[in-house]
């Protein structure tokens, strides 16, 4: 089984504790409710196309800002008001990956989407959510390349 950064592993373990779809729904909603949009000092509308997550019907955007200590801080925007799943995943990625060096973020693979969402992954959402993870990884790889 793949190893994940500690905070992400902890979140995945928490989801594993809730096999019941209704419980997982509530957990995902609690993350979605805590979603905070990218602050204006990082990006303002209209958001740049280069930050848009491909294949995401929730119209999600992602930024990775390099911090003074060399780690990355992730920011997201989700333009579709019905993008509940995207907001939940954005919160989880921010909580678990922000503050890590780019090398560790680049190692996270998109299989976490299935572990987090399980039955709550809908037909059209899966590809978009996995694309969010891939977009984060791509930004981390860019940060590594630009060192």
Partner 1 sequence: MTPAIEQKGYTHPEVLASTDWVAEHARDAGVRLIESNEDTLLYASGHVPGAVHVDWTSDLNDQVRRDYITRESFEQLMSRIGATPDTTVVFYGDKNNWWACYAFWVFQLFGHTRAKVMDGGRIKWEKENRPLTRDVPAYSRTDYKAPDRHDQPHRAFRDDVLKHMQARGQLVDVRSPEEYAGTRMHMPDYPNEGALRGGHIPGAKSIPWARAINPEDGTFKPAADLRKIYCDEKRLSPSEATIAYCRIGERSSHTWFALKYLLGFGEVRNYDGSWTEWGNMVGVPIEK
Binding residues for partner 1 (CB under 8 A): 21, 25-26, 28-29, 32, 55-57, 81-82, 84-85, 88, 119-128
Q: Looking at beta carbons only, is 55 or 104 nearer to partner 1?
A: 55
Per-residue CA distances from 112 to 48, 60, 123, 147 (Å): 27, 18, 16, 27
Minimum distance, C-beta of residue 113 to partner 1, in the bound complex (Å): 12
Q: Is the peptide bond before 46 cis (omega within 30 degrees of 0)?
A: yes
Query: Cβ closer to partner 1: 85 or 96?
Result: 85
Q: CB of 74 within 8 A of CB of 93?
A: yes
Cβ-proximal residues to 119 (8 Å cutoff; 6+ apart), any chain? 21, 24
Name the residue nearer to partner 1 (CB basis): 20 or 41: 20
71 forms bridges with which residues in the sheet? 101
Tell me how far, at minimum, the Cβ of 44 lies from partner 1, in Å. 23
Of 73 and 115, CB closest to partner 1:
115
Going by C-alpha positions, the residue among 72, 55, 80 that lies closest to residue 130 is 55
CB of 11 to partner 1, least distance (A): 17
Shortest spacing between CB 85 and partner 1, in angstroms = 6
């Amino acid at each position: 089984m793949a190893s994940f950064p500690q905070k992400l592993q902890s979140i995945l373990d928490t989801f594993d504790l809730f096999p019941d779809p209704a419980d997982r729904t509530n957990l995902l909603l609690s993350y979605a409710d805590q979603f905070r949009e990218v602050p204006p000092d990082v990006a303002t509308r209209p958001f740049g196309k280069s930050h848009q997550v491909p294949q995401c019907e929730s119209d999600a955007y992602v930024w990775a800002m390099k911090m003074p200590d060399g780690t990355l801080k992730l920011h997201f925007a989700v333009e579709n008001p019905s993008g509940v799943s995207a907001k939940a995943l954005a919160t989880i990625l921010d909580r678990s990956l922000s503050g890590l060096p780019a090398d560790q973020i680049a190692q996270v693979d998109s299989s976490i989407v299935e572990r987090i969402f399980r039955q709550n992954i809908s037909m059209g959402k899966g590809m978009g959510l996995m694309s969010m993870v891939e977009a984060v990884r791509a930004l981390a790889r860019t940060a590594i390349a630009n060192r």
